[in-house]
Structure 1
Amino acid sequence: MNKKYLPSALIMYLNYFIHGVGCSILGQAVIKEALAAAWGVEAMAITAISAALGLGRLIALPFAGPLSDKLGRRISTAIGSASYAVYLIGLAFAFSAGQNGGYQIAYVCAIIGGISNSFLDTGIYPAVAEIISSAPGVATMGIKFFIAIAQMLLPFVLGVAVTTTATGMVSYNPLFIGCGIIYAVLFVLIFLFPLPDSEQKAEGKSEGLIASLKHTNFSFESIAMIVIGFTCTGTFQLWLNCAQNFAKENAGWANPSIMQTYYSAGTLMALVVTSLLTRKIKDVRFILVYPVICLVTLVAVLIGHSQTLMIAGAFIIGWAGAGGLLQIVTSVCNMLFPKIKGTVTALVMIASSLCNYTILTAASKMAPSHVMIMNIVLTAIGVLLGLFVNARYAKMVSLAESDE
């Protein structure tokens, strides 16, 4: 990596560090309770605000990727930073508004937050891969690492950020406002340092999006890669949202919350170890090996019905399912589509976002054991797609080289 790009890379990773807080705060029970009290709603109603983040992602991803390819990573990242500041500071205003439209304000702000996430994805994923071009898999997994670190620190931050209003209500506005201000600072900083794609634009006019798409060979193999963005997301999202319920009903575990700790530990360890392994092993191999590990784990958990297996399963799924697999898929897609990295990142993230909506909605109407079976089926599909992609990888590389 060229040292002159180091500050730019740090700024981009810091965007995702704060994002690790921003995407998790509405899932924290204490914040849900504080917001629900302010808005006069049930705590579960805050889940609808969280869903609005996904809605915003789906709205923005189709045009965020093309914009990143046409105008550059800097503009896309800047839009994401500014929008995230609006989302977070907007939550503080929504809390203060109370029952005078606070809930509605928060819903709109959450949509903006989802839009900002899309612009960050389509700007930063390609940018860090371009900055650390010798190890793009490591570069994109670094994003997940910064998110995971922030999420681990969040419970400690909550204890410091909590305040009490003049009316005696619990408030987390200092956290919302503080993170929003940091995003405003990052918005300014992104314009102060160089990026690789900026210099490429200076050397000559890049090919337009439509022309680029016309020259791109979207084969069955490449479509399979994008669909893997759906299946690999389903594997860890279904576990994250439903495995503790399975442990209660099928393993007789009254309080399985400790599973989250093992899950996070597996994710963090995987990000370090996998980033080292990708220096020796092709990124595409993990797209097959990790889903196979997840599939075996899920089957063992379904059959075993024991707390020990649930703990082991949490660690392994955290490692092989959530420990950078989606980022590796994105990295491989970027390599196969060098001219439209932002667009192909958007396609993978659209598949991932669709999974969040469809699979989790279906899971909400099913028994935990049936959810586990659905996860096994979905992961098995991912294994078949990974096998197909690995078998046809040489052809995919050849198509990418002919596209240059």
Structure 2
Amino acid sequence: MKNKYMPTAIGLYINYFVHGMGVIILAQNMDALASQWGTDNAGVAIVISSLGIGRLIVLMVSGYLSDKFGRRPFVLLGMLTYILFFIGILVSPSIAVAYIFGILAGVANSFLDSGTYPALMESFPESPGTANVIIKAFISAGQFALPLMVGFIVSQNLWYGWTFVLSIAIFIINGIYLYNKPFPKQQAEQVDDIVEEKEPRKIFSIEGVAFILYGYVSQATFYLVSQWLTKYGSDVANMGDTSSRALISYYSVGSLLCVFVTSALVKKKFQPVTFLVGYTFISFVALLIMWLFPTALVCTIGAFVVGFSAAGGVMQLGLTVMADMFPSGKGKVTGIFYTAGSIASFTIPLVTGQLSKTNVANIILLDVGIALLGFLLAIVIFIRFKKDRRSL
């Protein structure tokens, strides 16, 4: 039977196309923004870190309130706050002002996440993993399209802000579309009573700590690459401006392909937890090879592979597995998991901004270590998940 929430889901996914552009829009316009703000690449990286601060400020609260008041208000509020971010960056005269608007982008992302992920899991209860992973397809599509747009704008000597204007226009149109679309009723209160006696042992257990750390590591792994891959290609692999920007597009194609592969396998009853181990191991190996052999060919192939393994929905699958093991409020689970990711969004740009002053290659080396930690955490989660299933 046709799912009555499919039109709503389409609108929710479109938001993440714009979010995909928003995640990398500062890094892709680094030179233009550095000139506008009178700073250097490290200064722009500081502004990028503000997105993590914004997520951290409200994500836990918005997840709780999403369970209490519903998903729609937070989706719409996220769209509005994102619009303020895009406008604010265009008019910001300095790093200080831009930092404030960067915080708004993080807040917007938190609002969208706390409303969208639970809404999709509740709209498609038979396939929540697939519903969440498709979000990543739209993020990847936005990350694929933006570098092409920016490359065209640079080649034509046009104003850099046109991609910001396009993002604003999409949000406005989609907001009107979503305003009266139906949202599912959250079921957290009913679930709470059922699992209250069964789940308390997990709250402070190994599973919870592992998921929190995995939320940080999975975000850090692909976030670092998405922000610095272009610079790595140009400064370390000696690629030209167009080809180094194209690395993000290859990265996005990889992540987009992974969404379809993973979705198909999940439908064939492969458990989402299985992918956490395999994908994080592939990310580690690909990043290590990129660091050891920084050539144009290796970077091109590596960008695709890292996009497939680290940015193809593995974080969304991690959330799905966590929600399966802790089913007592999907909004709260989303808040906990993505709060860890928001800390990564804040800390990683600060660290990499300083590393960029020495050698951009050190940034990829840092990501190698982070990916290795992610692989180890994925093994722990896999073992604990299997043990939990056997105990049911």
TM-score computed with the length of structure 1 as normaliser: 0.80
CA spacing shift, 1:284–1:25, aligned 2, 3 Å: same
Distance in 2 between residues matched to 1:300 and 1:121, nearest whole Å: 33
Secondary structure, in 3 states, of the residue corresponding to 1:24?
A: helix
3-state SS in 1 of match to 2:208? helix
| Partner residue in 2 for 1:22 | 22
The answer as to whether partners of 2:49 and 2:345 remain within 8 angstroms in 1 is no
Q: Which moved more, 1:178-187 or 1:313-322?
A: 178-187
Percent of matched pairs sharing the same residue: 31
Show the counterpart of 1:81: 79
Which residue pairs with 2:4 in the alignment? 4
Segments of structure 2 that go 5 or more residues without pairing to the other structure are: none
**C-alpha separation in 2, matches of 1:324 and 1:205:** 29
| Cα offset, 1:185, TM superposition | 4.2
User: Is the contact made by 1:140 and 1:331 (CA closer than 8 Å) also made in structure 2?
Assistant: yes
Q: Aligned equivalents of 1:230 and 1:112: distance in 2?
A: 20
Match of 2:322? 333
Question: Partner of 1:121: helix, strand, or coil?
Answer: helix
Q: 1:337 to 1:188 in 2, by over 3 A?
A: farther
Quote the residue 1:384 is aligned against: 376
Shift of 1:13: 0.9
Of 57, 60, 63 in structure 1, the residue corresponding to residue 58 of structure 2 is: 60
CA distances 1:168-216 after superposition (whole Å, capped 9, x unpaired): x964555544533442444444341222226x59xx88869xx899957
Q: What secondary structure does 1:392 align onto?
A: helix
Kindly indicate whether the alpha-carbon contact (under 8 Å) linking 1:336 and 1:397 is maintained by their aligned counterparts in 2. Answer: no
1:119 to 100, 111, 118: 111
- The answer as to 2:213 corresponding to 1:227 is yes
Counterparts of 1:244 and 1:112, CA distance in 2: 25
Structure 1 runs not aligned, ≥5 long = none
Correspondence for 2:347 among 355, 358, 373: 358
Give the distance between the partners of 1:114 and 1:19, measured in 2 at CA. 11
For 1:172 and 1:236, the matched residues in 2 are separated by 25
Aligned-pair CA distance for 1:10: 1.1
- 1:217 is aligned to 202
How much does 1:32 deviate?
A: 5.0
**Structure 1 counterpart of 2:225, one-letter code:** W
Q: Paired residue for 1:42?
A: 39
Separation (CA, whole Å) in 1 of partners of 2:275 and 2:147: 32
RMSD over aligned CA atoms reads 3.5
- Asked if the contact 1:287/1:325 (under 8 Å) is kept, the reply is yes
The alpha-carbon distance between structure 1 residues 355 and 54, as it changes in their structure 2 partners (threshold 3 A), is closer
For 1:150-169, list aligned pairs within 5 A. 150-155=142-147, 157=149
SS in 1 for 2:202: coil
TM-score, normalization: structure 2? 0.83
Aligned residue for 1:72? 70
C-alpha change, 1:192 and 1:269, in structure 2 (3 Å) is same
Distance 1:238 1:42, change over 3 A: closer
